[in-house]
Amino acid sequence: DELARVLVTLFDSRHLLYQLLWNMFSKEVELADSMQTLFRGNSLASKIMTFCFKVYGATYLQKLLDPLLRIVITSSDWQHVSFEVDPTRLEQSESLEENQRNLLQMTEKFFHAIISSSSEFPPQLRSVCHCLYQ
């Protein structure tokens, strides 16, 4: 974990993160026994990927989701809205269909926020995704 942190920090500061990712991910693919084991082990490539998502993704997600979560938590419009969709856990006064609609509506808000934020997606994570795609 420490080595992954040092490598990512060092390579990113020199604008060479993409090259590190490409080399580490290529080696991971080359050494994998099967597709099912890719990035499943405790390899340096897995640790580097995890570190990148934690460090660069945390700020992005906080900036993206914080306003939506605050609305859900603090807005009087959402105070008495239920999202429970497990029929065994519903209160007698709740409607499964209404709760499903509530959950779908809120999910769409979050999904739209994520889709609309592509321009704010961290470049480091773009590099991770591009290397994984290749």
**70 in Cβ contact with 76 (< 8 Å):** no
Mean pLDDT of 42-68: 94
Domain ranges, ordered by start, for the chain: 2-133
Q: How far apart are CA 37 and CA 33, in angstroms?
A: 7
23: CB partners within 8 A, 6+ apart = none
Q: How many CB atoms lie within 10 A of CB 52?
A: 22
CATH number for the domain formed by residue range(s) 2-133: 1.10.506.10
Tell me the pLDDT tens digit for each residue of 107-125.
999 999 999 999 999 999 9
Q: Is the pLDDT score of 87 beyond 90?
A: yes
Return the residue matching tokens 């509530």.
Answer: 102
Q: Is the pLDDT score of 48 beyond 90?
A: yes
- Quote the radius of gyration of the chain (alpha carbons, Å): 20
Q: Which of 40-44, 84-88, 91-95 has the lowest mean pLDDT?
A: 40-44
Q: State residue 121's pLDDT score.
A: 95
**H helix or E strand, kind and range, residue 79:** none
Mean pLDDT of 46-73: 93
11: CB partners within 8 A, 6+ apart = 17, 19, 20
